[in-house]
Amino acid sequence: MADIVPFPRAPRPTAPEPLWRELLGDQLRRRRHDRAETLTETADRAGVSPQYLSEVERGLKEPSSEMIAAIAGALDTSLIDLTSAVADDLRETAAPASAAVSATRGAFALAA
C-alpha cells in the first residue's frame, strides 16, 4: 500500500478581501474630499443624485462603467487613473491572502 502524505493547508485569511466597489467608493470619497467638495457639488457635475453618489462612496452600490466614468470626470480624473488607484489599493490589502495561495500552488495528489 502507498503511504498517505498529508498536504499542508493554507492558513485561512482572518478577514475577507475587500470588494471592488468598497475600494472604488473609498477612492472616490478621498478624491472628492481632496477637492473640498460636497456630495451635491460632485453629484451635480456627474449627473447623479447626491444619494446615489453617497451609496457608491460607501460601497453599497455596484455602479456601471458609465456611472464610474461620469463620476471620475466630475472629479477631473481619468478612468484609468481611478481604476489604477483602486487596483493598487486592492493589491495592498490582498497581499497576505495572495501570498498564502501562491505558497500552496504546485501541490497535487494522484490516487492509485
pLDDT by residue, tens only, the chain of 112 residues? 677 777 777 766 577 888 999 999 999 999 999 999 999 999 999 999 999 999 999 999 999 999 999 999 999 999 999 999 999 999 988 765 445 444 444 444 445 5
Domain ranges of the chain: 26-95
CA distances from 53 to 9, 22, 41 (A): 42, 13, 11
Euclidean distance between CA atoms 50 and 41, whole angstroms: 8
- Kindly report the pTM of this predicted structure: 0.72
HSE-CB for 9 with a 13 A CA cutoff: 3
The grid coordinates listed for 55 are 451609496
From the number of C-beta atoms within 10 Å of its C-beta (0-12, 13-18, 19+), residue 40 rates as: exposed
Q: Measured in whole angstroms, how far is the alpha carbon of residue 5 from the centre of its chain? A: 38
**Is domain 26-95 classified as CATH 1.10.260.40?**
yes
